[in-house]
A = this chain, B = another copy of it.
Amino acid sequence: MRLSTRAQYAVRAMVDLSLYSQGRPVSLKEISRREEIPLNYLEQLFFRLKKGQIVTSVRGPGGGYVLAREESAIKVGEIVVTVEEQLNPVACLDEGDRSCQREARCLTHTVWQGLGERIKGFLDSITLEDLTRGARARHADEGNNGNGACRTAG
């Protein structure tokens, strides 16, 4: 029952972007440095995030990425789904998968269904704003020394 590190990286990178972008584009190089995530790997992530319309890119020198919407409109669940493709705990909940046509007789199906809903519901109840709020407050308190971000490995 593990979330891929890809998804963890994506959320961390998005929080970082959200925290350090004040309207201006943030380069992946920066995020890579701060979050200690390989640049090439970040590129892959943001390729997906862009396709998922969570971020917008600005090419050329001085370019980078910007949130496609405001912080409060971007849910953690969205980010995870975008980079993971699937959030369902079991295969038979996947759309387009015909391996599970006997749901009516399956006693365990409802368990996984309920679990999937809980997971999605929880992750969708949290926005980037929720995550950056605390750091911003701290940041303001400490007089702009710019060290409130998450740089850990988890």
Partner-B contacts on A (CB < 8 A): 1-4, 7-8, 11-12, 15, 19, 76, 80, 84, 86-92, 99-103, 105-109, 111-112, 114-115, 118-119, 122-123, 126, 131-132, 134-135, 148-154
Contacts and interface: CB of A to CB of B under 8 A. Distances in A.
Count chain B CB atoms within 10 A of each CB in A3, A88, A99, A119 and give the residue with the most: A3
Count chain B CB atoms within 10 A of each CB in A86, A107, A109 and give the residue with the most: A107
29 contacts: A1-B3, A1-B4, A1-B86, A1-B87, A1-B119, A2-B86, A3-B89, A3-B90, A3-B112, A3-B115, A8-B108, A11-B108, A12-B108, A90-B154, A92-B152, A99-B154, A100-B152, A101-B152, A102-B153, A103-B154, A105-B150, A105-B151, A108-B150, A109-B154, A112-B154, A115-B123, A118-B118, A118-B122, A119-B119
